[in-house]
Structure 1
Amino acid sequence: MPALFFLPVALGPFISGGMLLWGAVAAVPIVLHLLNRRRRQTIAWPAMQFLREAIQRRSRNVQLWQWLLLLARVVAVLLIAAALANPILRQAAPVAPRPPHTHVLVLDTSYSMQATGVSGASRFQTAVEAAIRYCQSTAPGDRFLVVAMQTEPFAIVSRPSANVAAVRAEISGLQSGFASASLPATLSLVKRLTSSTEIETLHVAFFTDAQRQTWQSAIDGAAVEAWQLLRQRAESVKVVDVTADDPTTDGNATLTGLEAPAADRLTVAARSDGVQGSGTQLNLFVDDQRVHAARLQFNEAQSAWTDIAVMAEDDSSVVRAELQEDALTVDNTRWLVRRPQRPLRVMCLGTPQTTRFLAAAMSAGGESVWNVQQATPQQLTSPQSVAATIADVDLLMLCDLSRVEPAVAGAIQAVRSRGGGVVWWLGPAAEPDGYVDAAVPFRLADPVERDLYPLDPIRYQHPIAAPFAPYPQSGLLSTPIFRYWRLTPGENDAASEVALALGTDRAPFVLAMDRRQQRSVVVTSAPMVAQTAATDPPWNALVAWPSLVPLVQEIAAWVTAPLHASPASQVGDALSATVAHAQQIPKHLVAPDGTKLPVRSEARDSGTLWTAGVAAEPGIYTLEFDGQSSRQWAVNVDPDEGRLQTVDVSSLQNLTSTDDSAGRAARDDRSSGPISGEIGYGQAWFRWLLAAAMACLAAELLISRFALRWQA
C-alpha cells in the first residue's frame, strides 16, 4: 500500500488529507454497474410476445432501485474516506470585545543612526520602515504613542492615538538628530506617558541600532532598575536591532579632539572603529583656507594624534578639521574658534624647595608663553589675600602640599571658576587625611614600597603622552620612579583617564581629568632631590632626567588648552552664559544653517543669564551684538556616540524578548482575535461521517434485498 495513503497531510479542513485518496474506491461499484449493463443477443420467441409489455413496465422500477443501490454504495465509500481524513470544521461564536491595546514606539534618533549599511540605506531609514510595518500589523482600534530617543528625549505623539494614518505620517516625517541617546531619560519619559490608568495593555517597541554606548546601561548601568520596571508594567517589550539584516560594511573614524595648545600649534586626535588600510585623510582649514593635508595613521590601539604647526593669529580664527567620508560622516568634522594668544599666568603653590623645579621647567625655552610665579600656602591667610594672590591665574600648580586647607580650597575654586586648570604634584609631605576637601577630585590611599617602577605610556593614546611617541629616546620611558602615591578614585571619576602609568598593574602616574572646560591633572610622584626629602630618599630622579621639561610643559599645555579657544559646546548643550554687563548680552544668535535664534535674559545674583535654547546641530554659531560686533561659538558632536559597537542581541534575552529582524518587528495581535465580533472554534466530524457511512451501508443492504425480491 503506498505510504501516501497514511500521511497526515493537512488539506483544508481535513487533518489527514491523504486519507481522501481512499475515496477512489467509490469507482469500483460504478464500474461493476456498467459491466452488468453489457448487451445481450435478443432472440424472438412468439410465446413471450404477450409478456413483453408487462416486463417493460416492471423494468423501469428495477432500474430505479439499481440506481439507488449504486448511490448508497458510492456515498458510503466516500463518507468512510472523509471520516478517515478527520475533518475539523470551524464555526462562529460571538465573544465580548477586548479593550484596545496601547503601543509605544520608541525610535532612536541619535546621530549613530545615520550610519549607512550594505543596502545604502541609513539605520534610521530602516528603523522608520520597521516602525511603519509595526503600525500596519496591529489590530484595528489599537492606540499609539511615539517617542524620539536622544539626549533629551521627546514625544512625537504624546497622547494615545488610534489614527494609524496620522501616526505613520508623524513617523515618516521624523528626522535623525546630531545628539547622543540616553536610555535612562527615555525610560523615564515612557513611564510618564504611560502612567494613565486608562492604559491597560501596554506594548513597547524600541527601533534602534543597539549601540553599546546606549544599551549597556540596561545591562549593568544606570537604566537597570527603570528597565525592569518597564518589563513589569508592559505586556511585551521588544528591541528591534535595525543592523541585524543590514550591517555597516566599512569602519568608522571619529574626530575626538581639536585643540590649540599654543599660538602656533594645533593638535588633532581621532579614533578608529575598524577602519581598514592605511588610515584616513585629514584636512585642516583655518578660516576656510586649507593649511594642512596628510594621512592620519592609527596605532595598535586604534587611536591617532598629530601636532600641526600653524601661523599665529592676531585675531580670532575658525579652525575646521575634516576626515574623509566613511560609514558615518557626522563625526568626521570638528570645529574650534581660536582666540589670540596671551601669556598665561602660572602659580606654583608650595614650599620654595618643591616649587623651584617646576617653575624652572615652565620657564625653559627661548620664548616662554608662561608667566610663572611662586607662592607659599602661608601667604593665603584670608579671602583678600587669596583673591590678591590668585588674581588672573590661569594654571595653579600645587606642589607637595601636606594638607588642602580651606584657603587653598578657595584658591582652587577661584581658578576653576575662570576656566583655569589645576595640577596636583604629590610627594612625601602629603597626608591622606588632608586631601578630603570637596575641592579635591581624588583621595590618597598610601605610598608604595620603594622599588624601580617602569613607566608605561599606554600606547601614547592620551594627548599628554602623544607628543613623545615620535621620540622614544627622549627619556620618558626610562624615567626613574621609585615611589608614588596610590589613589582612590573620587565620586566623580568618570572623566578621569590615565595618561601615563607605572608598573605592571598600570597604576596612575599622570591622571588626567577633563570635565568640560575644567581640566585637572594629578602626578603621583613630584620631582625632588635629596635635600627636599627630609627623612626618605627622593621618590624619583625627574630633576636629573631630560623628560622633566617636556613632561611639565605638555601637562600644562593640555590643562590650559581650553583657554586658547572660545568656549565650545556639544550638541544638546544649552546656548547660554552669565555676564556682568547688559552690553555683553547678544542681540541674536545665528545657527550654522542661518537661522536667527532669539535671546532671552534673566537677572541673577551673579549677573545676567542669557539663553538662546539648545544647540541642535554642530558647527559655528555667531553671537551678534549691538554695534555690528560679533563673536563665534563652536559646537561639536559627542565623539563617544561615534562608537558603532553594538550590544549582542542575545545578551538582552534575559532582559526582554527581542526580535532581530525589522520585518518581524510587530506582534500580530490579530492572531488572538479581532477587537469585536466572532472567533472561530473547531468541531470534529469524524463520528458523524462514520455514522452516516454506516447508515448508507444499511440502506444498501435493504435496497439489494428489496430489489432482488422485486425481480423475483
Structure 2
Amino acid sequence: MHFLHPAFLIGAAAVSVPIIIHLVFKMKARVVPFPSIRFLRQIERQVARRQKLQQWLILALRCLTLLLLALALAGPVYKPSGGAYGASSTAVVIVLDDSYSMALSDPEGPVFAKARAAALAVLRTLKPGDAACVLTSSRPPVMSRDVGSLEEEVRKLEPSAGAGTLRPLAGAAMKLLRETPAAQRELYIVSDFQERAADVADINWFARDFSAVLIPVRSTRRDNLSVEGLEPVSPFATTSVPWRVRATVANRGPDVAGKNLTFRVDDRPVGSQMVQVPPGGTSVVSADLRLEQAGWKTVSAELEDDALRPDNRRLLAVEVRAKLSVLVCRPEAAGPLSRSFYVEKALNPGGSAATGVEIVTCEPSGLAERELDDFAAIFLVEALPLDESVHAAIRSYVAAGGGLVIVPGVSLDPEEFQRAFGPEGDERGPLSPGKFAGVEGDERRPETYQAIREFDPHHPVFVRLRRGSTPIDLGTAAFYRWCRFEPYESARAIAKFRSGDPAILEKPYGAGRVLLVASALHPDVTNLPLKVGFLPLLHGIVGHLTAGPRSEGVLVGEEVRLRLPKSGAPAAAKLYRSPTDVTEARAAVRGGTAEFDFGPAAAPGTLTFEWLAPETLESRVVAVNVDPAEGVLRYVDPAKSFPPEMHTLRSLDDLPSVLTRIRHGRSLAIFFLIAALVAALAEALLANRFAFGGSGGGGGAPGVATLAGIEAAGSQRPAARSGS
C-alpha cells in the first residue's frame, strides 16, 4: 500500500489533540471533608478500574477517527503487481487490431477510428522518458521513447486487408514487454474481438509481469454482404466461346439483403445482376463472359458498397488462349472408328457445339515430328512412344508444365509400358503414376465387371460432374476389362473401382501433371463414353491439366511463392505488384522444384511473376483476395473470454480510472472513510452510555460516579456488620 497524496498524512498529527485535551483538562474530584473517612477507603477498586478503562476506550476511538480521516485524505492505494510503487518509467505496448473487419462503418464513423482514438488516449497519458509501441499486422515490435512522433504515426494508420488473429500480436507484445526494462509495464489490446480472431485462450496470462487492459471497439451493425467465392465453371478459357464463371454471395447479417453484383474483365463492366440473399445464407450467380483477346485477364465480381467494403470484391486471374490445342496420339484405326474417337468428340464435337478445343491427331510414329510445346495437353490413347528421343521429349514437356493423359489399352505390353513411363534413368522418377500390373476382367462374365465407387467430388476433374445442381453419378458406368496399376509413392488415386484398385491416378512431374485412366475409353471395354458424365469428365481433365498452378490464387497474408521445375529454372525471378513496385527473389531448390519466395501478400489485387526461360520471357498472374471469413461479424465478450484479472473498458470514459488503478493501485480511501465513520459512531454511542449510566452500575461522570460509589458503600457496610 502507498499514498497518492502523502502530504495529507500530516493530518495524522491531529491524533494528539484529544490526548492533550485528556491530559490537560482531566476532571479532578472536589475535596469534601467527611466525618467518617473510613467509607471512602471501602470503595471497591473494581469501580475505579472500570472508570479508567472507559476513559481510555473513548480516547482511543477519538484518536482512531482522526487517524483514519487523515489516511483517507492521503489517498491510500493497494497495488499487487505490474510494477514498483512510484514507478519512474512506464513501458506500454498497444496491440491495435487492423484486420479488415475494423473497417466496418456506422453513423458514428469507422470502427477503426474509435480504435485509433483509444490508442491515442493511452499514449497521451505517458510522461517524458516512458516507452511505447503500437503493434499492428504491419508494424514491427519496437519500443519508442518519442511518444509525440508515435502519436503522429498512429493518426495515419488505416485498417489493412488482412484477416489476422490476436494471438501472434499478443505474443509479440508480451515478449517485447518482458525485454523492456521499466518499473511499470502495461499491455493494451484494442480490437473488435471478433470471434474468429480471439484465439488467445491458451496464452498463459497468469505468468505475466505486466498489467493488461482490454478495450473493445465495435459497431452495433451486423449486416454485411460478402462475395466469398469466384470460380470458373468452364474448364478453360478461349476467345472462341463464352467463359462461364460463378460468384457466391453470402449474407452475414440477420435480415434479407440485396445488392447489385457487377462482373468486370480488366475493370471493364461486362454484366450485372441484382442479388437477394437470405439471412445467414448464400446465393450463387453465374455469368457467361466473352473474352475477346488472348492473354492474362483479371475477372472480378463486385457488390455495391455496404458497411464493410473490403469483402465486396473478388478477383480471378485467367489465361485466355486463342484456342486450346490438344494432341491425341492413338494407334492407326483398324475400323471405321479410331480408338480415340469418343475422346476426340467429347473434347470437340464439331459443328455448332464449339468448345474452344482444337484436336490434332497423330500415330505414335508421328510424335517425333510434333512440336510438343504447341499443345496444352497430350492424350496417349492406347499408344506408346516408339523411341527414346520421344520418351525424353514427352518427359521434358511435362516437366516444363505440360499435361499428359495416359489411356492404356488392354493390348499394351506391360514391359514396353514400363520402359516408356517407368522410373529407370530419370532423376525425377517415373512419368507414369503407377506400375502396370496386368489386365483384369472378362467381357463375357458380368460378375467380373467393375464400376467407379469412390471419387473426390471436389477435385477439379470431377467438380463439373453435375446437371444443374444434381451431381452426375459415375458409378453407373461398367468396365468390362481394365488395367490394374500399383500406384507409385508420389501418386494418388482420385477415383477407385469397386475392388479398391485405382480407376484414375494423378501424379505431379516437375511443374506438370500426369493423369492415368486405368481403362481404354472405347465401348468395347466400357460404356463410360456413352454416359452423360463422359463429356464433363474429359473437359474436367483437360481443364485441370491446362490450368496447373496458374489459376491458383492467394489470400492476403499468405505467402506468395512461384514454383518451377528445377531443370531449366532461372537463378532469379521477379514479382510485379505494380509497374514501379518490383521484387526479385533467388531460387531455393527443394527436391525437384525451384521455389521463389516473395513474402506475404499485403493487399488484394493481382501480382505478376516474370522469369527468363531458356528461350523466352515467361509470365504468370495470380489473384490476391481478402479472407471472406473476416467478414463474419460475430464477437466475443472479452470480460468473459479473458481472465478476470484483466481490466476491460466498457467505454473510453473509464480509461482514467483504470489507469489510476493499474499505475497506482486500487484506492482504499472509501474503506478508510467507512472505518472512520464507524469509529466516530462507536465513540458517540459509548460516550453517551458511560455518561448517563448503563447496566452493571459502571456508568456516569467521574465525579458523580465517585459519590455514587461512596453512598453505595456507606449504605451497605453497616448492614453487613449488624448482621454479624
Corresponding residue for 1:480? Answer: 476
* Alpha-carbon distance in structure 2 between the residues aligned to 1:279 and 1:289: 23
**2:264–2:271: 8 Å Cα contact kept in structure 1?**
yes
Q: 1:649 to 1:698 in 2, by over 3 A?
A: closer
Corresponding residue for 1:110? Answer: 99
Corresponding residue for 1:668? Answer: 658
Q: Please give the residue correspondences for 1:330-409 in structure 2 after superposition, counting only pairs within 5 Å.
A: 330-336=310-316, 339-344=319-324, 361-366=346-351, 367=354, 369=357, 371=359, 372-374=378-380, 385-389=391-395, 391=397, 394-397=402-405
Q: Please give the residue correspondences for 1:308-323 in structure 2 after superposition, counting only pairs within 5 Å.
A: 308-314=288-294, 317-323=297-303
User: Deviation per CA, 1:132-185, whole angstroms, max 9, x where unpaired?
Assistant: 344567899864322103xxx432x611x5665554443332111223315564
Corresponding residue for 1:130? Answer: 118
**1:426–1:526: 8 Å Cα contact kept in structure 2?**
no
Residue 181 of structure 2: which of 198, 215, 231 is its match? 198
Q: What SS does structure 1 have at the residue aligned with 2:102? A: helix
* Alpha-carbon distance in structure 1 between the residues aligned to 2:644 and 2:148: 29
Q: 1:676 to 1:618 in 2, by over 3 A?
A: closer
* Alpha-carbon distance in structure 2 between the residues aligned to 1:185 and 1:405: 51
* Alpha-carbon distance in structure 2 between the residues aligned to 1:577 and 1:502: 33
User: Deviation per CA, 1:505-534, whole angstroms, max 9, x where unpaired?
Assistant: xxx9999999xx9998999998978975xx
Q: What SS does structure 1 have at the residue aligned with 2:69? A: strand
* Alpha-carbon distance in structure 2 between the residues aligned to 1:230 and 1:242: 22
* Alpha-carbon distance in structure 1 between the residues aligned to 2:503 and 2:172: 43
1:265 CA displacement = 0.9
Corresponding residue for 1:208? Answer: 191
Runs (5+) with no aligned partner, structure 2:
1-58, 78-83, 333-337, 360-377, 441-448, 612-616, 693-699, 706-724
Q: What SS does structure 1 have at the residue aligned with 2:634? A: coil
**1:143–1:162: 8 Å Cα contact kept in structure 2?**
yes
Q: What SS does structure 1 have at the residue aligned with 2:535? A: helix
Q: What SS does structure 2 have at the residue aligned with 1:556? A: helix
1:320 CA displacement = 3.9
Moved more, 635-644 or 646-655: 646-655
User: Deviation per CA, 1:357-401, whole angstroms, max 9, x where unpaired?
Assistant: 666644545555155420679769989834434516633346699
Corresponding residue for 1:53? Answer: none
User: Deviation per CA, 1:612-654, whole angstroms, max 9, x where unpaired?
Assistant: 98754334568999xxx99895643234354424354479727
Q: 1:429 to 1:291 in 2, by over 3 A?
A: farther
Corresponding residue for 2:717? Answer: none
* Alpha-carbon distance in structure 2 between the residues aligned to 1:340 and 1:520: 20
User: Deviation per CA, 1:434-469, whole angstroms, max 9, x where unpaired?
Assistant: xxxxxxxxxxxxxxx9999799979xx999646845
Q: 1:410 to 1:670 in 2, by over 3 A?
A: farther
Q: 1:247 to 1:670 in 2, by over 3 A?
A: same
Matched, 1:246 2:217: no
Matched, 1:302 2:282: yes
With normalisation by structure 2, the TM-score equals 0.55
Q: 1:530 to 1:569 in 2, by over 3 A?
A: closer
Matched, 1:158 2:142: yes
Corresponding residue for 1:637? Answer: 625
Residue 119 of structure 1: which of 79, 92, 107 is its match? 107
- How many correspondences in the alignment? 559
Matched, 1:597 2:618: no
Q: What SS does structure 1 have at the residue aligned with 2:651? A: helix
**2:453–2:496: 8 Å Cα contact kept in structure 1?**
no
Corresponding residue for 1:286? Answer: 265
**2:115–2:191: 8 Å Cα contact kept in structure 1?**
yes
* Alpha-carbon distance in structure 2 between the residues aligned to 1:609 and 1:331: 30
* Alpha-carbon distance in structure 1 between the residues aligned to 2:562 and 2:93: 34
Read off the aligned partner of 1:265 and give its amino acid letter. Answer: W
Matched, 1:189 2:169: no
* Alpha-carbon distance in structure 2 between the residues aligned to 1:663 and 1:246: 14
* Alpha-carbon distance in structure 2 between the residues aligned to 1:492 and 1:133: 59
Q: 1:314 to 1:359 in 2, by over 3 A?
A: closer
1:111 CA displacement = 2.2
Q: Give percent identity, aligned residues only.
A: 16
Matched, 1:470 2:468: yes
Q: 1:424 to 1:583 in 2, by over 3 A?
A: closer
Q: Please give the residue correspondences for 1:587-626 in structure 2 after superposition, counting only pairs within 5 Å.
A: 591=578, 596-597=580-581, 616-619=602-605
Q: What SS does structure 2 have at the residue aligned with 1:668? A: helix
Instruction: Give me the CA root mean square deviation.
Output: 6.7
**1:576–1:611: 8 Å Cα contact kept in structure 2?**
yes
Moved more, 164-173 or 614-623: 614-623
**1:649–1:660: 8 Å Cα contact kept in structure 2?**
no
* Alpha-carbon distance in structure 2 between the residues aligned to 1:603 and 1:452: 42
User: Deviation per CA, 1:595-621, whole angstroms, max 9, x where unpaired?
Assistant: 833555768899999999875433456
Corresponding residue for 1:30? Answer: none
Q: 1:349 to 1:332 in 2, by over 3 A?
A: farther
* Alpha-carbon distance in structure 2 between the residues aligned to 1:613 and 1:452: 42
1:549 CA displacement = 0.7
Corresponding residue for 1:545? Answer: 531
Matched, 1:146 2:120: no
Moved more, 325-334 or 84-93: 84-93
1:274 CA displacement = 3.0
1:310 CA displacement = 0.7
Read off the aligned partner of 1:246 and give its amino acid letter. Answer: T
Q: 1:457 to 1:590 in 2, by over 3 A?
A: closer
* Alpha-carbon distance in structure 1 between the residues aligned to 2:108 and 2:287: 35
* Alpha-carbon distance in structure 2 between the residues aligned to 1:194 and 1:524: 60
Q: What SS does structure 2 have at the residue aligned with 1:290? A: strand
Q: 1:348 to 1:237 in 2, by over 3 A?
A: farther
Q: What SS does structure 2 have at the residue aligned with 1:181? A: coil
Matched, 1:232 2:222: no
Residue 172 of structure 1: which of 155, 160, 166 is its match? 155
Larger RCO, structures 1/2 (Cα 8 Å, 6+ apart):
1
**2:457–2:463: 8 Å Cα contact kept in structure 1?**
yes
1:663 CA displacement = 1.6
* Alpha-carbon distance in structure 1 between the residues aligned to 2:648 and 2:520: 57
Q: 1:464 to 1:650 in 2, by over 3 A?
A: farther
User: Deviation per CA, 1:70-93, whole angstroms, max 9, x where unpaired?
Assistant: xxxxxxxxx9x9999999524248
Matched, 1:328 2:308: yes
Q: 1:452 to 1:462 in 2, by over 3 A?
A: closer
